[in-house]
């Protein structure tokens, strides 16, 4: 049962009805009258100006002596006296058809002037017409009043118009007004059909929309409309898109603004804008208010989170009061989005203000497939496209990343002269988004090409030698614009949500395989492993401080994650002495993994050389080619595993390369090592003498 008024569709903030801007006697009619009045006054002003210009071009002021001289010469045709001013029309006109005249101040009264004109007629024999006009006091008064009043009225109207414009633009005169943008369903153009990969979040918000459409079936059993819903999740997951979809489905006015719009340099402005926003919302109820990045004003008043800002606290207090004060039965729903929920004020998060917290997580495999389908529905795809494979390859990607990949693939197809996007375009688009385009103008020396080749093959070979390793999709030494001189692509056989201790240890070995290959082959190391070392250190530290995988520290939690939905940075919760011991434990773990990687590469040196030589020649090899050479060199017979025809999941980079994606840990993922030794066995092993190893690759 829809309890909204029958004329609801004629309402709205955009001039759709009595409460909007287009109803009878509404602001639009007032604006039309104002425009008409301004046009009339402007016409009068223009007419006056042109009249004065025309008059000044056909009239000239002369002295009284000059007038007397013209009388003596018989050059005067007529004289008119009005209010002490003489208007003289000469007998001969300079321009035919235009009456030119002179003016001067009368020095004599009308009787004396009449006598002088009669004398001049007798002297020259030319008749002179004389006319004296008596002044009308009423007309003079009206003219004086209008001459003063019209400019004054025009100035008032102009000031009023300027103030309105400044109010709309948030200028000095409008600092206390809300900057909320009002939308209606036709303008948002977004429904829940345009949102994919977030089924749980959609379900929570669809219930709210159904409440707005059919409040009767909920109120019958005593249910109330939730006052607010807080959308929480990483950047790019679609929080704003979900809010627009709610507005598009609910068919109600949608007020959208950012948390920073409340903040201004003037004290008290934020609170004033909050009051103005809720006043507008009450006029247009039922409606939805969406505040994006609410952490800008909703930050906790605790000094630990940057509290103590009086202006922001005043704005927050006003927001809390308004959220408590409005009646939920009026159908006002508040949506807010943030990716920093841990710093929000507890009073803002309690039920009764934000009754629901909707988590908008990174999409899983099925969600990524659906997101790709949504963004690809308007793109021409050929029969080779397999969106499931692309989704499997992009673990950790959010909706905005996937949309960008589809768009890049379409651009590549046009660039290559094709009318439809192929799977190859999608593969390349994934690489473009994650590591940048090929840097064709960067030419490596022969020695650097060898180093990069062995580095990347070291990553791939160590992964291939480990049990349950993810298949290698691609190895390349072609530099990319994001800094990578080469990289290895690996994809998971299935999406995983947990990692075992053995898998994390295998990740460390795989990450350090590139650096180990450099030392084994060249007896020296380069800066190419900087990113690998950084990621390996992060994993090792997390194993010790967060996952309880250290024998020394056991199950003790030594770190906590801050900004979970942003960078997920961990901070230690221990003393300096314990932090020093943690560093020693991390160094020990990394050293053991590095020695294991070197041992594996030394034992399979011929395979390493053979694959590296092939990579130097080809620059880029596929996973299938890599496995063929690997099996041939290792003498392995039987069915070769099919490498996944997908894009980047795990990436090892080279000199000074930046992280490939925000989910670096998942991208570098490798699996357990079947030949791992115990720490005691590793300590007993003799160190490998790399200096005796010579590369068969001739420069």
- Say whether 523 sits in a helix, a strand or coil: coil
Q: How many other CB atoms are there within 10 angstroms of residue 656's CB atom?
A: 13
- The residue among 372, 490, 484 whose CA lies nearest residue 437 is 484
**Cβ contact 358:245 at 8 Å:** no
Q: How many other CB atoms are there within 10 angstroms of residue 361's CB atom?
A: 16
Buried/exposed code over 51-83 (b: 16+ C-beta within 10 A; e: otherwise): eeeeeeeeeeeeeeeebeebbeeebbbbbbbee
Task: Please report the DSSP string for 655-686 in residue order.
Answer: TTPPPSSS-HHHHT-----TTPPPHHHHHHSP
**Cβ contact 254:280 at 8 Å:** no
CA distance 99 to 59: 9
CA distance 188 to 407: 22
DSSP H/E element including 300: none
- The residue among 427, 374, 349, 344 whose CA lies nearest residue 238 is 374
Phi, psi of 331, rounded to the nearest 5 degrees: 85, 35
Residue 561 DSSP symbol: E
Burial of residue 440 (number of CB atoms within 10 Å: 0-12, 13-18, 19+): exposed
Those residues with Cβ within 8 angstroms of residue 371's Cβ, 6 or more apart along the chain or in another chain: 196, 197, 363, 399, 402, 403
Label residue 417 left, alpha or beta by phi (over 0 means left) and psi (-120 to 50 means alpha): left
Catalytic residue (choose from 198, 408, 428, 456):
456
CA distance 172 to 169: 9
**456 included as an active-site residue:** yes
Q: How many other CB atoms are there within 10 angstroms of residue 112's CB atom?
A: 11
Q: How many other CB atoms are there within 10 angstroms of residue 169's CB atom?
A: 12
Strand order in the sheet with 356-359: 181-183, 254-258, 287-292, 332-338, 228-232, 356-359
Long-range contacts of 615-621 (CB under 8 A, 24+ apart): 615/453, 615/456, 615/457, 615/475, 615/477, 616/449, 616/450, 616/453, 616/477, 616/697, 619/476, 619/477, 619/478, 620/474, 620/475, 620/476, 620/477, 620/478, 621/474, 621/475, 621/476
Count helices and strands in the chain by DSSP H and E runs:
25, 17
Residue 333 DSSP symbol: E
DSSP H/E element including 101: strand 101-105
CA distance 560 to 570: 5
CA distance 514 to 593: 12
Long-range contacts of 37-46 (CB under 8 A, 24+ apart): 37/157, 38/157, 38/161, 41/150, 41/153, 41/154, 41/157, 44/150, 45/150, 45/154
Burial of residue 122 (number of CB atoms within 10 Å: 0-12, 13-18, 19+): exposed
**Cβ contact 454:487 at 8 Å:** no
- Omega prior to 286 cis, within 30 of 0: yes
HEC letters along 455-495: HHHHHHHHHHCCCCCCCEEEEECCCECCCCCCEEEECCCCC
**Cβ contact 682:691 at 8 Å:** no
- Any idea which residues carry the catalytic annotation? 456
């Amino acid at each position: 049962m829809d309890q909204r008024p029958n004329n609801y569709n004629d309402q709205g903030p955009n001039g759709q009805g009595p409460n909007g801007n287009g109803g009878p006697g509404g602001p639009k009619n007032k604006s039309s009258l104002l425009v008409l009045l301004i046009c009339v006054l402007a016409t009068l002003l223009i007419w006056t100006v042109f009249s004065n210009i025309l008059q000044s071009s056909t009239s000239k002021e002369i002295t009284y002596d000059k007038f007397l001289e013209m009388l003596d010469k018989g050059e005067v045709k007529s004289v008119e006296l009005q209010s002490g001013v003489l208007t003289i029309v000469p007998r001969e006109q300079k321009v035919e058809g235009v009456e030119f005249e002179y003016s001067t101040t009368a020095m004599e009264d009308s009787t004396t002037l009449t006598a002088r004109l009669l004398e001049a007629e007798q002297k020259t024999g030319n008749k002179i017409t004389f006319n004296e006009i008596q002044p009308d006091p009423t007309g003079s008064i009206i003219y004086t009043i209008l001459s003063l009043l019209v400019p004054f009225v025009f100035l008032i109207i102009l000031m009023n118009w300027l103030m309105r414009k400044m109010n709309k633009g948030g200028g000095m005169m409008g600092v206390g007004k809300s900057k909320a943008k009002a939308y209606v369903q036709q303008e948002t153009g977004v429904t829940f059909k345009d949102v994919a990969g977030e089924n749980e979040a959609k379900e929570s918000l669809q219930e709210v929309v159904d409440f707005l459409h059919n409040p009767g079936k909920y109120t019958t059993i005593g249910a109330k409309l939730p006052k607010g819903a807080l959308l929480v999740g990483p950047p790019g997951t679609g929080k704003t898109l979900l809010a627009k979809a709610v507005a598009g489905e609910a068919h109600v006015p949608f007020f959208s603004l950012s948390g920073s719009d409340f903040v201004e340099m003037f004290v008290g402005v934020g609170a004033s804008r909050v009051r103005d926003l809720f006043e507008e919302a009450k006029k247009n109820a039922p409606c939805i208010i969406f505040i994006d990045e609410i952490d800008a004003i909703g930050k906790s008043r605790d000094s630990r989170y940057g509290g103590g800002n009086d202006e922001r606290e005043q704005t927050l207090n006003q927001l809390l009061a308004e959220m408590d004060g409005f009646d939920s039965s009026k159908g006002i729903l508040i949506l807010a989005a943030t990716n920093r929920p841990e710093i929000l004020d507890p009073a803002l998060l309690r039920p009764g203000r934000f009754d629901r917290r909707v988590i908008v997580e990174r999409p899983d495999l099925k969600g990524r497939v659906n997101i790709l389908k949504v963004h690809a529905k308007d793109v021409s795809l050929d029969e080779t496209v397999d969106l499931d494979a692309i989704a499997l390859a992009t673990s950790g990607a959010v909706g905005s990343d996937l949309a960008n990949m589809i768009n890049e693939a379409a651009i590549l197809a046009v660039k290559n002269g094709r009318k439809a996007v192929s799977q190859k375009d999608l593969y390349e688009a994934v690489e473009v988004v994650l590591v940048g385009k090929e840097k064709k103008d960067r030419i490596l020396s022969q020695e650097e090409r060898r180093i990069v080749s062995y580095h990347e093959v070291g990553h791939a070979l160590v992964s291939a030698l480990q049990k349950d390793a993810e298949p290698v999709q691609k190895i390349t030494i072609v530099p990319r614009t994001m800094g990578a001189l080469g990289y290895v692509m690996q994809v998971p056989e299935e999406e995983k949500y947990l990692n075992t201790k053995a898998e994390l240890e295998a990740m460390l070995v795989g990450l350090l395989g590139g650096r180990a290959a450099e030392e084994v082959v060249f007896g020296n190391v380069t800066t190419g492993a900087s990113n690998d070392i950084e990621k390996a250190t992060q994993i090792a530290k997390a194993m010790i401080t967060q996952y309880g995988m250290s024998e020394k520290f056991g199950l003790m939690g030594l770190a906590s994650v801050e900004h979970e939905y942003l960078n997920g940075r961990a901070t230690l919760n221990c003393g300096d002495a314990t932090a020093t011991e943690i560093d020693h434990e991390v160094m020990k773990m990394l050293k053991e993994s590095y020695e294991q990687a070197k041992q594996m590469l030394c034992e399979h040196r011929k395979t390493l050389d053979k694959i590296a030589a092939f990579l130097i020649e080809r620059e880029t090899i596929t996973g299938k080619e890599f496995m063929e050479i690997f099996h041939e060199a290792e003498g392995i017979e039987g069915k070769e595993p099919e490498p996944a025809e997908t894009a980047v999941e795990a990436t090892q980079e080279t000199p000074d390369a930046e992280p490939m994606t925000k989910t670096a840990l998942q991208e570098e993922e490798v699996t357990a090592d079947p030949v791992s030794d115990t720490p005691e066995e590793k300590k007993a092993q003799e160190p490998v003498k790399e200096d005796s190893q010579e590369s068969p690759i001739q420069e």
